[in-house]
């Protein structure tokens, strides 16, 4: 606990902290701190070295419906790598597109007498497509390939990049 004592009472060997002595060349030397006896760990040259993003986190973003929430949280905080933000934008765009289409088709099926069955079938195709695209993107990420969709990724960057990043 002697490191936390006031400077006036702290002693290091024969010198007091903050004491002044004459050096070999006649220059005044000020001792403000004790000599370090511990080994210091070598620090990397970069202030924030790039760490690989865990794939499980990226895969979680692409889980249908459930991945919407961690993706939204990542974009809301604005912290994350470029790849995390891109996958989050894509996940949110896919989920919102599916939800909008699902609600519109369900509303149309509920209000229409003639097109009810056709709209429900189309709704099931839309839901199946959303799930299959999500699984396909998850498999692509597991293989180490890009997690981009040509139309949706650019839409996500244009729309969500403006408001959430």
pTM: 0.63
Query: pLDDT of 14-67, one tens digit each?
Result: 444 444 555 556 665 555 655 556 555 554 554 444 556 677 888 899 999 999
> In which domain, by residue range, is 137 found?
55-164
Burial class (CB within 10 angstroms; exposed 0-12, middle 13-18, buried 19+) of 40: exposed
Query: pLDDT of 125-138, one tens digit each?
Result: 999 999 999 999 99
Beta carbons of 74 and 88 less than 8 angstroms apart: yes
E-state strands within 48-119? none
What's the number of domains the chain is made of? 1
Residue 100 belongs to some domain of the structure: yes
Residue 7 belongs to some domain of the structure: no
For the chain, the distance separating the N- and C-terminal CA atoms, rounded to the nearest angstrom, is: 47
Residue 41 belongs to some domain of the structure: no
Residue 90 belongs to some domain of the structure: yes
Residue 2 belongs to some domain of the structure: no
Residue 132 belongs to some domain of the structure: yes
Question: How many alpha carbons fall within 13 Å on the CB side of residue 55?
Answer: 11
Query: pLDDT of 95-105, one tens digit each?
Result: 999 999 999 99
Kindly state the percentage of the chain with pLDDT values over 90: 34
């Amino acid at each position: 606990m002697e490191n936390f004592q006031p400077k006036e009472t702290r002693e290091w060997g024969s010198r007091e902290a903050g004491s002044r002595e004459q050096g070999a060349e006649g220059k005044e030397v000020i001792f403000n701190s004790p000599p370090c006896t511990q080994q210091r760990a070598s620090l990397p040259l970069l202030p924030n070295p790039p760490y690989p993003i865990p794939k499980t986190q990226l895969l979680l973003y692409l889980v249908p419906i459930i991945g919407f929430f961690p993706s939204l949280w990542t974009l809301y905080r604005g912290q994350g790598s470029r790849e995390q933000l891109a996958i989050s934008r894509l996940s949110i765009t896919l989920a919102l597109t599916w939800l909008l289409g699902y609600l519109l088709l369900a509303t149309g099926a509920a209000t229409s007498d003639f097109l009810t069955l056709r709209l429900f079938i189309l709704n099931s195709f839309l839901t199946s497509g959303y799930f299959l695209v999500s699984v396909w993107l998850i498999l692509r990420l597991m293989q180490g390939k890009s997690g981009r969709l040509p139309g949706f990724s650019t839409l996500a960057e244009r729309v969500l990049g403006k408001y959430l990043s």
